[in-house]
Structure 1
Amino acid sequence: LTAVAYAPDSICVDASSTMHVVPGGGIGAPYSFQWTEPGVGTIGTDDTLVHTPAGGSSTFIVSVNDGCGSPTAFDTVQVAWYPPPVPMVAPDKPEDCYPAAISFSNLTPAADVGAYCLWDFGDGTTLTDCGPVQHTYMNVGCYDVTLTVHSPEGCPGTSTFPELVCARPYPVADFEQYPLTANVLDPVVSFLDHSQDAVTWTWSFGPFTDPDSAFVPEPVVRFPEVDEGDYPVWLHVTNIYGCPDSVMKFVHIDGVFSVYVPTAFTPNNDGTNDLFGPQGIGISEEGYSLVVFDRWGQPVFTSTKPWDLWNGELPGGAQAMPGVYSWRLDVVNKFVGQERTQFGQVTLVR
């Protein structure tokens, strides 16, 4: 009586092995069979056995008996486990602002990688690919990443990397100004920060810069005193993750129309009070006229430009005599277009 057993040399971990014995000789069928595993005992009584080994390398003994007095025949087979692959993963960055586009490299040794790999990105999305992959996380959070790799023998190995990558939130940039309305006489505006989750602040105040106020949470800024206007103010903030947000609002500086005409001047070229003419805010170039008269009512100076002032000379170039001169001023409020005419006197002192 003979027994010849067959089984695969190696199988995947936790897979079942199909073993078979071919009896021969003896008195003949029917044969009886008994499969045993050392340390386990009898595991089967047919010529074919499907069994999951208990360890990484197992020995199985099969006995065949013909029931007619022939000596029992034995054979032995050994079944080993293929070592499972151990997947390794590396993201190109651990975090990014959402939507976070992150690339993953499969660092599993090439000899352990067969034709099948399954990525689970932890957000309900999977992908079958053994090469580098990219995935975009659309929602804020930290995610477990799992990679399953099948070896060239078809044996699976799975690794899970808890909270491997994170999609980070953005801050919210916001501010308000105080006072709500400023004017050119006092164009100082305080900015109150209402941003959420900001840790850095960068301010831009339109056509001019203010280095002392550019990087503080709540700057106080003096705007130009020259003219009314709307100035764009930008606030750029970032949070602890470096994620940015920006907001822009306009700050309006009201114009205030004012005209001041001096009552005396001293045109002696000493650099002080050498010129006579109006000073003010909001004086339009259009419709402007200044005429200075001597005591007989004759014009000695005429100007149609706000910056063209009287230096105390007569039309022929001679020096005007000290004394009192009358004047008429026509101006237009450029903020509202309103015309104004003023009369007065000025004393020329030498």
Structure 2
Amino acid sequence: FRWYQEVYSGQGFDHWGLDIVQILCPTFPYIEWSTGDTIEGPIIVNPTQTTTYSVGIYDTVHDYQAIDSITINVIPYPEPDLGLDTVTCEGMIVSLSPSDNFDSYYWSTEETTSTINVTDNGTYYVTVSNTMSNITCSASDSINVFFVPNAYVELGDDVCVTHPILLDATQPDSGFTYLWSNGMTTPTIMANNYGNYWVSVTYDDYDICGDVDTINVKLIPTASLNLPIDTTICHNESLILSASQSNNNWYQFHWSNGINKPVLFIDYYPPGIYDFEVQVIGCDTTYGRTTVYVEDCSVITQIFIPNAFSPYNTDDINDYFHIYAENIDIDDFYFSIYNRWGQLLFHTTDPRFRWDGKYNGDYLPQGIYTYKLIYRNAENNYKELNGSIFILH
């Protein structure tokens, strides 16, 4: 407060009044923080990074102010991340790193670098730290690393076999899975058919560290031959020698006369002896051999007609008249006997006839008689023969 005297003045006078005490009550100082708070404090802050905070006190009466500040250094809280557990193949190198923006690293392997390389199964830990003003913040993370065996499949070279074979893709570790081209899921299968076979091998359900191989299996049974041992044919006949198999496309055929087909046709070979050999080549070779005898089977009509006989004396010698005929058409045979006057005494169409020398049941008298023979020969031609017969008593 303060004292003062109230004075009234006017023209020609001054008036001094009583002393007056005037009490002045200034306003409280005004407080403002950089956070926007207006309380005297304390205030609570939660900085996530290094931050400077200030406060000002302002006296509006006396135009007075006071300002102060403080800096709070915030150490970044480390958050290491080694990632998800890792499965990879043996022989690979796995690099582990939580990131490279920490002040220090300490691994379960006792290494202190930001990155380590591992080649063995295991659980790996890292502790990372950030330090400021002798204050250290630390955090840890871990990861499991699993190395699985590599598959190696060797089905072998393409093969040609006469019987089913075993295809083996077995791996030394039991964790592998198998898928064959025929849908089988076993380590081994039997190749029972002609064709390509493949197998895909992977480790468990990871579908990694796998291998694939393919093999072509020519499954061709040994050829079976059924050639005749010896065969005889006529020179004007044909013969088929067959080495055919159930599937001729699987085999090669080589005959001794240069023919390279399953079937050999022998047509109108000259008379002689012919040896034929055949090789049937699949996955192995089968040999066959046969001999073909080709004979001259020309058909010649031969006829012999006696010129006399003695039917009357009944001595059982030349008692009947008959002819000898070979290679004639028995359906086209006509034989007739006449006397000297041209009278027909005997007629037959049977080449095997036997005439007893009788006419109307009586023996004909001794004498000369004529005959006529009409026939068709082996060459399909009609022939006529005429001659005489002497009947003896």
Q: TM-score, normalised by structure 1?
A: 0.49
> Greater Rg, structure 1 or structure 2?
2
Q: TM-score, normalised by structure 2?
A: 0.45
